[in-house]
């Protein structure tokens, strides 16, 4: 078995649709072609939106497609202390700060941003003065943790300016892309409601699970810039990224979980077979 390890990492917030099937099949076929492995990971840190019935449906629908994956399946909500430890590492190095802003305040700030500072563009204003922060804490105000880009720049020095990641094109060619994690400003690494964020949990698990190739939709391509920074700060290994095209409907719109008609469930109930699904996706008829 080769060293190639990839993953399919759905969030159980709805039923899987054709877009998920495409992503899972691309990952599984790449693993098979390389004599490697595909890991299935349940990304359910958002406990308000994730539901056990959607998780069960993920297993059933992927099995129906003929996919196999390594067991046990990692469910992120079972491992929140791992992400807490990663956050603590960043906090101990002075790289994270509490953000008490409301959703509305953040949205307003993004609309106005970026603010030019001597350090480059900066969003979200950085940490509050100690006394103000203390007052918020004493008042029991909820807060998120953000990664301070300016502190990350200080910590990494020149290395920050030469950060890059490896991106594999559909042709197989691997390109080195200059990473610009500051485009997001100080991104959230632990949400108010979850104690972690997609970015931190995903990067942590990719490292823990030995993922060599991150295959996912191109809607997440820009996240690789920030993920690379987290990997360097946390001393995690560097995977190769491949971002595949998104499956759209006939009108060219991206599929969403609310489009019930193209869920794998609905297609199956309508009499379609996995081979029909492969054909819809422009993939050959071989299983898995």
Instruction: Tell me if residue 35 falls in helix, strand or coil.
Output: coil
For ligand GLU, the closer of residues 153 and 216 by Cβ is: 216
Q: Does the footprint of ligand GLU cover residue 202 (CB under 6 A)?
A: yes
Among 17, 204, 216, 225, interactor with ligand GLU by CB under 6 A: 216
Closer residue to ligand GLU (CB): 208 or 286: 208
The interface region with ligand GLU, picked from 4-12, 62-70, 171-179, 231-239 by CB under 6 A, is: 4-12
Residue 177 touches ligand GLU, criterion: CB under 6 A: no
> Of the listed pieces 7-15, 31-39, 58-66, 239-247, which binds ligand GLU according to CB under 6 A?
7-15
CB of 140 to ligand GLU, least distance (A): 31
274 contacts 60 by C-beta, under 8 angstroms: no
Number of alpha helices (DSSP H) and beta strands (DSSP E) in the chain: 11, 12
Closest CA relative to residue 25, chosen from 38, 34, 12 = 38
Burial (Cβ within 10 Å: 0-12, 13-18, ≥19) of residue 95: buried
Residue from 4, 6, 10, 17 binding ligand GLU (CB under 6 A): 10
Q: Out of 18, 39, 43, 185, which residue is the one contacting ligand GLU (CB under 6 A)?
A: 43
The CA distance from 226 to 82, in Å, is: 19
Instruction: Classify residue 32 as exposed, middle or buried by CB count within 10 Å of its CB (0-12, 13-18, 19+).
Output: middle
Nearest CA among 89, 77, 51, 48 for reference residue 189? 89
To the nearest whole angstrom, how small is the minimum distance from the Cβ of residue 192 to ligand GLU? 19
Q: How far apart are CA 5 and CA 216, in angstroms?
A: 13
**Residue 227: burial class (beta carbons within 10 Å; 0-12, 13-18, 19+):** buried
Q: Using CB under 6 A, count the residues that bind ligand GLU.
A: 7
Q: Which one of 3-11, 32-40, 52-60, 150-158 is the stretch in contact with ligand GLU (CB under 6 A)? A: 3-11
Q: Which of 155, 156, 177, 220 binds ligand GLU (CB under 6 A)?
A: 220
Q: Is 197 in the site for ligand GLU (CB under 6 A)?
A: no
Please name the helix (run of DSSP H) or strand (run of DSSP E) that holds residue 177, with its range, or none: strand 174-178
Binding site for ligand GLU (CB under 6 A): 9-11, 43, 202, 216, 220
């Amino acid at each position: 078995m080769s060293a190639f390890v990839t993953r399919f990492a759905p969030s159980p917030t709805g039923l899987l649709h054709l877009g998920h099937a495409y992503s899972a099949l691309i990952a599984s076929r790449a693993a098979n072609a390389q004599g490697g492995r595909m890991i299935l990971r349940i990304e359910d840190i958002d406990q308000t939106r994730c539901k056990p019935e959607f998780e069960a449906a993920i297993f059933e629908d992927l099995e129906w497609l003929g996919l196999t994956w390594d067991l046990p399946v990692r469910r992120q909500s079972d491992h929140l202390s791992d992400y807490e430890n990663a956050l603590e590492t960043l906090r101990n190095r002075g790289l994270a700060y509490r953000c008490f802003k409301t959703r509305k305040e953040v949205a307003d700030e993004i609309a106005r941003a970026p603010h030019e500072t001597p350090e480059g563009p900066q969003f979200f204003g950085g940490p509050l003065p100690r006394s103000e922060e203390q007052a918020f804490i004493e008042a029991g105000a909820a807060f998120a943790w953000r990664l301070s880009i300016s502190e990350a720049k200080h910590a990494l020095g020149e290395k920050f300016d030469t950060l890059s990641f490896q991106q594999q094109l559909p042709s197989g060619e691997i390109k080195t892309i200059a990473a610009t994690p500051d485009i997001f400003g100080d991104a959230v690494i632990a949400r108010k409601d979850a104690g972690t964020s997609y970015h931190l949990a995903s990067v942590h698990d990719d490292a823990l699970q030995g993922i060599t190739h991150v295959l996912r939709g191109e809607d997440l391509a820009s996240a690789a810039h920030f993920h690379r920074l987290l990997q360097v700060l946390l001393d995690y290994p560097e995977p190769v990224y491949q971002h595949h095209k998104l499956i759209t409907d006939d009108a060219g719109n991206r599929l969403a979980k609310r489009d019930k008609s193209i869920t794998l469930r609905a297609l199956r109930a309508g009499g379609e077979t996995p081979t029909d699904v492969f054909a819809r996706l422009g993939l050959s008829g071989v299983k898995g």
